Chain A
Amino acid sequence: MSETDEALAREAKRGSTHAFESLVRRNQSLVRGFLRRLCSGDAALADDLAQETFVMAWRRIGSFEAKGAFKGWLCRIAYTQFLQNRRSAKASTRREEAVMADAVTVHDDRAGAEARLDLDRVMAVLSPEQRAAVALCYGEGMSHAEAAEALGLPLGTVKSHVMRGRAKVLAEFGEAA
């Protein structure tokens, strides 16, 4: 019963939808949570992308190498889905700009800041790379090395994104307080 994700992925690789279903059940919270951070709290868009992520994972399960962590592999697909959506969907970009504008408004409107400012709005201020690195390291509890593997970025770059992202988030919260 306590099969690892990697063992289940090997079964799914052989065509077992049952094993893949277990993987979806185990990892859906992580993937959806990660995508919600990336989508600045847009839960509907995040869930759509999470569904696409799992469908893509099923299609590409043959390319999963057992030596790597399944969670990292999955997060990499999720991040790619997010970037593709960001590039292609104009509506999505407009929505994000609206959220960012909203975040700036919240930032300027100090009087109402304490009521409206939340983490999702602050996350919208970060670049997508910083958002992803911060979400994986602080939201999903991954190490810098795991986040680097998941995002396909060098370790030093991820550390730098985390450091800058953290500084921005804390500055936003500090100024709002």
Chain B
Amino acid sequence: MTSQFSEGESEDARMRALFAQGARPPMGDEDFVQSVMTRVQDVRAADKVRRNVAVLGATAFAGAVLWPFRDALGAGITLSMARFAHDVPMLSGGATALLIAAAATLAALAYTERS
């Protein structure tokens, strides 16, 4: 048993010696590192484009879904604000501006978050 074990140990030593002779790629191969990082930056850029397309697509989809209800949404906001002011044309314009601003803010927030 003991002889088998020592034989195994010497075989391990022979194997380590064999592998130690083999040439290893250099530790500080900057060319390799830079080529990897270039590809990583490409992947990063492609991912960013993909995410932005998804965000813009989702925003456009939401806009298309809500578009038929724009008058109702505007009227709802106008009516709720009419409690405080009575100039209806001004309120209607204000409600539209508010909707546009909210949509733009959401899109900008989503864009900033993703990038």
Contacts and interface: CB of A to CB of B under 8 A. Distances in A.
A77 interface: no
A51 B14 contact: no
Contacts of B19: 119, 138-139
A25 B15 CA distance: 27
A134 interface: yes
A130 to B, nearest CB: 12
B84 to A, nearest CB: 45
A24 interface: yes
B35 A36 contact: no
A57 B35 CA distance: 15
A37 B19 CA distance: 10
A28 B16 contact: no
Contacts of A55: 36, 39-40, 43
A64 to B, nearest CB: 15
A44 B6 CA distance: 39
Contacts of B35: 51
B37 interface: yes
B28 A119 contact: no
B22 interface: yes
Contact of A138 (B16, B33, B37, B44): B16
A17 interface: yes
B18 interface: yes
B36 A28 contact: yes
Nearest to A21: B37
A54 interface: yes
23 contacts: A17-B40, A17-B44, A24-B37, A25-B28, A28-B36, A29-B26, A32-B25, A33-B22, A37-B22, A47-B25, A47-B32, A51-B32, A51-B35, A54-B36, A54-B40, A55-B40, A59-B43, A119-B19, A134-B15, A138-B18, A138-B19, A170-B15, A173-B18
